[in-house]
């Protein structure tokens, strides 16, 4: 029976690359495993897979009666609706432990690092499985993406160490140049529907009984979004209304300035000042030095909602 490896809804590069890397590892260990996604991949992820000659995983949203490995999340809100009818064999994640529960013991790798693919590299080492060039390449790119080329507050020495090792295997010489090439692809927004941009890297969270959505767009220069910023702000208001959400926030992250302009749609905008110590100007606020949703935005909002 085939086991499926997948991550959260609205898959980002780490989710997809981790699923592919885990599937390869498990197959080498004798467990027939296939990587899938819960939705269409982003332009950045497409660039990564094309660079290393790997196919885009199929989309699959129902897993009742299946056995699965989860990557890059363990939050029910980010997983398939019928996950309770599947058997979770393992979790590989770099976020806080979520609300997934299992009836049987499972393989669980949850580390405080910047990227799930950093953990995957440790798993390959643990099982003494050689990382092939193309898998090393996508794991490296996932690390560069999730750590914002090592600038994010989530980045650790282990992310940097494993990135160097993976770069050697993938024969990549200039990590800064590779990272910038990826973020230029991520910054290409012309012709993309507004809702697709909002949901490109979007997650819902349960914060003390409140449904809170947080999306993120990372660009090399925030001015690239000037012409569509009003449309993005209007769209998160619409998204809030259709999902019974208390708030929807969209992080517009400038990787060169190393900060985020946060767009706000909320029943209580004062929650932002409570979380970050600065009052919004209308429907937005600038958060200097904030680049990580996981480490710098979600924990602050969770405390504010407590």
Instruction: Tell me the pLDDT tens digit for each residue of 55-64.
Output: 999 999 999 9
Task: Say yes or no: 219 and 246 in one domain.
Answer: yes
Task: Say yes or no: 111 and 11 in one domain.
Answer: yes
At residue 3, the pLDDT reads: 98
Of 115, 149, 184, which residue sits at a domain end? 184
At residue 188, the pLDDT reads: 82
Q: Are 44 and 16 in contact (CB under 8 A)?
A: no
For residue 51, what is the domain's CATH number?
3.90.1640.10
22 Cβ neighbours under 8 A, 6+ residues apart: 5, 33, 35, 69, 71, 92, 120, 123
At residue 124, the pLDDT reads: 98
% of residues, the chain, pLDDT over 90: 92
Write the pLDDT tens digit of every residue in 193-237.
999 999 989 999 999 999 999 999 999 899 999 999 999 999 999
Domain that holds residue 145: 3-184
| Residue 27, pLDDT above cutoff 90 | yes
Examine residue 189 and state whether it is found in any structural domain, yes or no: no
- pLDDT confidence tier of residue 189, bands split at 50, 70 and 90: confident
Examine residue 263 and state whether it is found in any structural domain, yes or no: yes
Task: Say yes or no: 257 and 174 in one domain.
Answer: no
Task: Say yes or no: 160 and 31 in one domain.
Answer: yes
At residue 86, the pLDDT reads: 97
Task: Say yes or no: 254 and 175 in one domain.
Answer: no
- pLDDT confidence tier of residue 186, bands split at 50, 70 and 90: confident
Task: Say yes or no: 41 and 143 in one domain.
Answer: yes
Task: Say yes or no: 239 and 283 in one domain.
Answer: yes
Write the pLDDT tens digit of every residue in 256-268.
899 999 999 999 9
Examine residue 281 and state whether it is found in any structural domain, yes or no: yes
Q: In what order do the strands lie in the sheet with 87-93?
A: 58-59, 33-37, 3-6, 67-71, 87-93, 107-110
- pLDDT confidence tier of residue 76, bands split at 50, 70 and 90: very high
Write the pLDDT tens digit of every residue in 93-139.
999 999 999 999 999 999 999 999 999 999 999 999 999 999 999 99
Per the DSSP assignment, residues forming a β-bridge with 248 are 213, 265
Examine residue 213 and state whether it is found in any structural domain, yes or no: yes
Examine residue 153 and state whether it is found in any structural domain, yes or no: yes
Examine residue 88 and state whether it is found in any structural domain, yes or no: yes
Task: Say yes or no: 251 and 143 in one domain.
Answer: no
Q: How far is CA 92 from CA 89, 268, 289, in A?
A: 11, 35, 28
Span 77-106, average pLDDT: 95
Of 184, 219, 250, which residue sits at a domain end? 184
Q: CA-to-CA distance for 175 and 145, rounded, in angstroms?
A: 11
For residue 284, what is the domain's CATH number?
3.10.310.20
At residue 15, the pLDDT reads: 97
Examine residue 159 and state whether it is found in any structural domain, yes or no: yes
- The first and second tokens of residue 37, run together, are 């996604």
Q: CA-to-CA distance for 95 and 131, rounded, in angstroms?
A: 24
Task: Say yes or no: 230 and 139 in one domain.
Answer: no
Of 184, 207, 223, which residue sits at a domain end? 184
Q: CA-to-CA distance for 236 and 232, rounded, in angstroms?
A: 6
Task: Say yes or no: 55 and 179 in one domain.
Answer: yes
Buried (b) or exposed (e) across 40-77, using 16+ Cβ within 10 A?
A: ebbebbebbbebbebeebeebeebeebbbbbbbbbbeb
At residue 187, the pLDDT reads: 86
Range of lowest pLDDT (124-133, 182-191, 247-256): 182-191
Examine residue 36 and state whether it is found in any structural domain, yes or no: yes
At residue 185, the pLDDT reads: 92
Mean per-residue pLDDT of the chain: 95
Considering its fold, how many domains does the chain have in total? 2
Task: Say yes or no: 173 and 84 in one domain.
Answer: yes
Span 139-158, average pLDDT: 96
Task: Say yes or no: 124 and 204 in one domain.
Answer: no
pTM of the model: 0.87
């Amino acid at each position: 029976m085939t086991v499926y490896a997948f991550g959260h809804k609205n898959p980002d590069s780490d989710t997809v690359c981790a699923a592919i890397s885990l599937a390869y590892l498990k197959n080498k260990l004798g467990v027939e495993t296939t990587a899938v996604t819960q939705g269409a991949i982003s332009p950045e992820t497409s660039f990564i897979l094309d660079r290393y000659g790997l196919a885009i995983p199929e989309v699959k949203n129902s897993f009742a009666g299946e056995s699965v490995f989860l990557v890059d999340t363990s939050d029910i809100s980010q997983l398939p609706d019928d996950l309770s009818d599947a058997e979770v064999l393992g979790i590989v994640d770099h976020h806080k432990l979520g609300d997934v529960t299992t009836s049987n013991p499972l393989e669980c790798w949850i580390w405080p690092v910047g990227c799930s693919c950093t953990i995957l590299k440790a798993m390959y080492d643990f099982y003494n499985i050689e990382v092939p060039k193309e898998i090393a390449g996508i794991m490296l790119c996932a690390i560069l993406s999730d750590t914002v080329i090592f600038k994010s507050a989530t980045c650790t020495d282990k992310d940097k160490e494993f990135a160097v090792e993976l770069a050697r295997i993938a024969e990549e010489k200039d990590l800064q140049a590779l990272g910038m090439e990826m973020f230029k692809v991520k910054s290409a927004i012309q012709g993309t529907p507004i809702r697709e941009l909002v949901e490109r890297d979007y997650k819902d969270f349960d914060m003390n009984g409140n449904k809170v959505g947080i999306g993120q767009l990372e660009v090399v220069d925030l001015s690239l979004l000037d012409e569509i910023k009003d449309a993005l702000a209007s769209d998160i208001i619409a998204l809030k209304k259709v999902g019974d959400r208390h708030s929807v926030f969209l992080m517009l992250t400038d990787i060169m300035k190393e900060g985020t302009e946060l767009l706000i749609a909320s029943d209580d905008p004062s929650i932002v000042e409570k979380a970050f110590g600065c009052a919004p100007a209308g429907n937005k606020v600038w958060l200097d030095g904030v680049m990580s949703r996981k480490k710098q935005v979600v924990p602050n909002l969770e405390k504010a909602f407590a």
